[in-house]
Amino acid sequence: MLSKTVAELSGALTRKEVSARELTQAYLDKIHQLNPALNAYVTITAEQALAQADAADNRRAKGNASPLTGIPIAHKDIFCTRGVLTACGSHMLHNFIAPYDATVVERLEQAGAIMLGKTNMDEFAMGSSNETSWFGPVRNPWDQARVPGGSSGGSAAAVAAGLCAMATGTDTGGSIRQPASFCGLTGLKPTYGRVSRWGMIAFASSLDQAGPLTRSAEDAALMMNAIAGSDLRDSTCLELGFEDFTAKLNQPLAGLRIGLPREHFTKDLNPAVQTILQNAIRTLESLGASFKEVSLPNNYLSVPAYYVIAPAEASANLSRFDGVRFGYRCENPDNLEDLYKRSRGEGFGDEVKRRIMVGTYALSAGYYDAYYIKAQKIRRLIKQDFDLAFNDVDLILGPTSPHTAFKLGEKVSDPVTMYLEDIYTIAVNLAGLPGMSLPAGMLNGLPIGMQLVGPSLSESRLLNVAHQFQMNTDWHSQRPEV
Ligand code: GLN
C-alpha cells in the first residue's frame, strides 16, 4: 500500500479500502522504522497528521473531497509551516517556528493533503547531495552508502522509500530534478512564476521555484492542480486562471517534435546513460514523436553564470539572518558588531558562507559590471538559445544528471565538482522554463532519469509526454528494497 501512487491511493480512499487515518498511521510507523537510518525527515508531525487524517476522513464521508484529500505528504523544510520548526537545513534556523504557512503548504492543506513532517535538505538549498545539511546527510534508499541528490534530498528519499506518498521540493538550479533522477522519481520544476514563492525561504529569488516530487507524472499533475496559480502575496507569481494539469495526460504523441541538444549528446556523456536515453527515444518514437538535433551553444556558460547570479541573490537574501530579528544568536556578544559576526559565523555552515562571500564580492562596487552584469547578459543568451530551439521543436530531451547517485563523501570536499552536478539542469532555471526528470532506466541497480524541457507554461505538455512514456515503460514503478 505504501508504495502506491497518489492516484492509486486516492482511488483506494474513495472505494473505502483504507481510511486516511489508517494510511497516515501506516506511513508514520514506517517513518519510525526507517528514518533513523535514512535521515529523510528532520521533523515528524504525528499528532497533527492524525488530526488532519480524521478531518480528511470526515470530508470524504461528506462527499466534498479533492483527489488529494487524505493523501500523506512531506514538505521540504524550506517551506514555512505554522507552529512547526522550519529550519531550512541550517543551524541558523534550528529554533525557528514559522508564524504562517507557505502558500504551497496552505494550498495542499486546503486540498486535504496530510502533512507527515518536514524533510531534510542542503543548508538553505545550497548543494547537490544533501551533505551540507546541519542535520547530517540523507541516505539514498537504493543504496545507503550513496547520496539521494540535493538539495531536496530528504523529500526524494522519503518518496522513494515509501515514507510518504508525495513530497514538495524546490529547484533553483536542479534541486527537484537531480534528486528525482538519483531516487527514481518524477520531479517537475515549473515555469518561473507558476507556483507562489510566498513562505518559501528565499535562496536566489529570480531562480527559485517549488514543485512536486512523486512516483508518476499523473501524481505530479495532481499536485500541480493544488499548488499552481496566482498569489497576491508573491508579485512574481503569474496571474493565470486554474489549469487542470491532468486534462491532457492521455493526449496521443503523434506529431510531437522533440529536440536533442547537440551539446548534451557528446562523447563526454557516460555511454551507459547515452544508451538509456536512446532506448527512451525509441519508445517515444514508437508513440509517434519525431526527433531532431537542436543546439544550445551557450549551455556551457550556465554553471559559471549561475554561480555568480545565485550567490549574489543569496548574499542579499541571507543578510536578514543577523542574530537580531530571528534565528540563531551567539552567546554573550561584546557589542553589536560582535553579535552580527559571531551569530552569522556560528549559525551558517561552510557552503553558505562560501556563497555569501562570492555573492558579496560579485555585487561590490568595481566588480558588479565585470561579474554580475556579465552573468546577466549570459543569462539572456542562454534564454535565447532555448527560444530559437523552440521555433523548431515542441520540447527538448536530454540527461538530467551525468551519472547515477554517487557515494557519500565522494564530492563534498570539492565545490567545483559539486557545482558541475547541475550542468544539464541549471540553464533551465536561468531561462525560467519548466523542466522535469522522470525515470528512464537503471544502471548497476541505481535509477537514472531523463530530462524534458519545454517552452514557458508548457507543463501540461511535459506531463502528457511523461505520462505516455510511463504508460509504456515501467521504470517509474521500480521500488528500492529498504
Ligand atoms: N546544486 C545547485 C546549488 O547548489 C542548485 C541547488 C538548488 O536547486 N536549490 O546551488
Given this model, what pLDDT does residue 267 score? 86
- Decide: helix, strand or coil at residue 336: helix
Instruction: Tell me the average pLDDT of the chain.
Output: 97
Given this model, what pLDDT does residue 402 score? 93
Catalytic entry in 151, 155, 216, 458: 151
- For cell 545550497, name the residue: 126
Given this model, what pLDDT does residue 268 score? 82
Given this model, what pLDDT does residue 143 score? 98
The best mutation among 76, 88, 152, 172 to test binding of ligand 1, ranked by most ligand atoms within 8 Å of the C-beta, falls on 172
Atom of ligand 1 nearest to the CA of 351: 4
Question: Is 440 within 8 Å of 277 (Cβ atoms)?
Answer: yes
pLDDT tens track for 264-316: 999 888 999 999 999 999 999 999 999 999 999 999 999 999 999 999 999 99
Nearest CA to ligand 1 atom 4: 127
The best mutation among 79, 121, 122, 313 to test binding of ligand 1, ranked by most ligand atoms within 8 Å of the C-beta, falls on 122
Question: Is 440 within 8 Å of 472 (Cβ atoms)?
Answer: no
Atom of ligand 1 nearest to the CA of 171: 8
151 Cα to the center of ligand 1, angstroms = 6
Domain boundaries of the chain, sorted by first residue: 6-254
pTM for this structure? Answer: 0.98
Atom of ligand 1 nearest to the CA of 176: 8
151 as an active site residue: the answer is yes
Q: DSSP secondary-structure letter at 451?
A: E
The contacts of residue 345 (CB under 8 Å, 6+ apart) are: 330, 353
Q: How many CB atoms lie within 10 A of CB 63?
A: 6
Taking CB atoms and a 6 Å cutoff, what residues make up the pocket around ligand 1? 125-128, 151, 171-175, 203, 310, 422
104 Cα to the center of ligand 1, angstroms = 20
Q: DSSP secondary-structure letter at 252?
A: -
- Secondary-structure percent of the chain, ordered helix, strand, coil, rounded to 5: 40, 15, 40
The maximal CA–CA distance of the chain, rounded, in angstroms, is 71
pLDDT tens track for 34-85: 999 999 999 999 999 999 999 999 999 999 999 999 999 999 999 999 999 9
Helices (H), 255-301: 271-286
149 Cα to the center of ligand 1, angstroms = 10
Atom of ligand 1 nearest to the CA of 429: 8
Given this model, what pLDDT does residue 479 score? 96
Nearest CA to ligand 1 atom 10: 126
Question: Is 246 within 8 Å of 222 (Cβ atoms)?
Answer: yes
Q: Superfamily assignment of 6-254 in CATH?
A: Amidase signature (AS) domain (3.90.1300.10)
> How is residue 435 written as a grid cell?
523542466
Residue 325 predicted with pLDDT over 90: no
68 Cα to the center of ligand 1, angstroms = 29
76 as an active site residue: the answer is yes
108 Cα to the center of ligand 1, angstroms = 24
Catalytic entry in 90, 129, 175, 401: 175
Residue 27 predicted with pLDDT over 90: yes
314 Cα to the center of ligand 1, angstroms = 11
The best mutation among 122, 175, 358, 418 to test binding of ligand 1, ranked by most ligand atoms within 8 Å of the C-beta, falls on 175
pLDDT tens track for 259-276: 999 999 998 889 999 999
Question: Is 434 within 8 Å of 441 (Cβ atoms)?
Answer: no
Q: Is the dihedral of CA 258, 262, 297, 380 positive or negative?
A: positive
Given this model, what pLDDT does residue 326 score? 84
The best mutation among 128, 421, 425 to test binding of ligand 1, ranked by most ligand atoms within 8 Å of the C-beta, falls on 128
56 Cα to the center of ligand 1, angstroms = 35
What is the chain's Cα-based Rg? Answer: 21
Atom of ligand 1 nearest to the CA of 422: 1
Residue 334 predicted with pLDDT over 90: yes
Q: How many CB atoms lie within 10 A of CB 270?
A: 15
Given this model, what pLDDT does residue 295 score? 98
Give the residues across from 292 on adjacent strands. Answer: 259
Catalytic entry in 19, 30, 76, 458: 76
Q: What percent of the chain has pLDDT over 70?
A: 100
Atom of ligand 1 nearest to the CA of 418: 1
Q: How many CB atoms lie within 10 A of CB 190?
A: 27
Q: What is the Cα–Cα distance from 205 to 85, expressed in whole angstroms?
A: 22
Q: What percent of the chain has pLDDT over 90?
A: 98
Atom of ligand 1 nearest to the CA of 355: 10
55 Cα to the center of ligand 1, angstroms = 36
Nearest CA to ligand 1 atom 5: 173
69 Cα to the center of ligand 1, angstroms = 31
The contacts of residue 438 (CB under 8 Å, 6+ apart) are: 180, 186, 187, 217, 449, 450, 452, 466, 469, 470, 475, 476
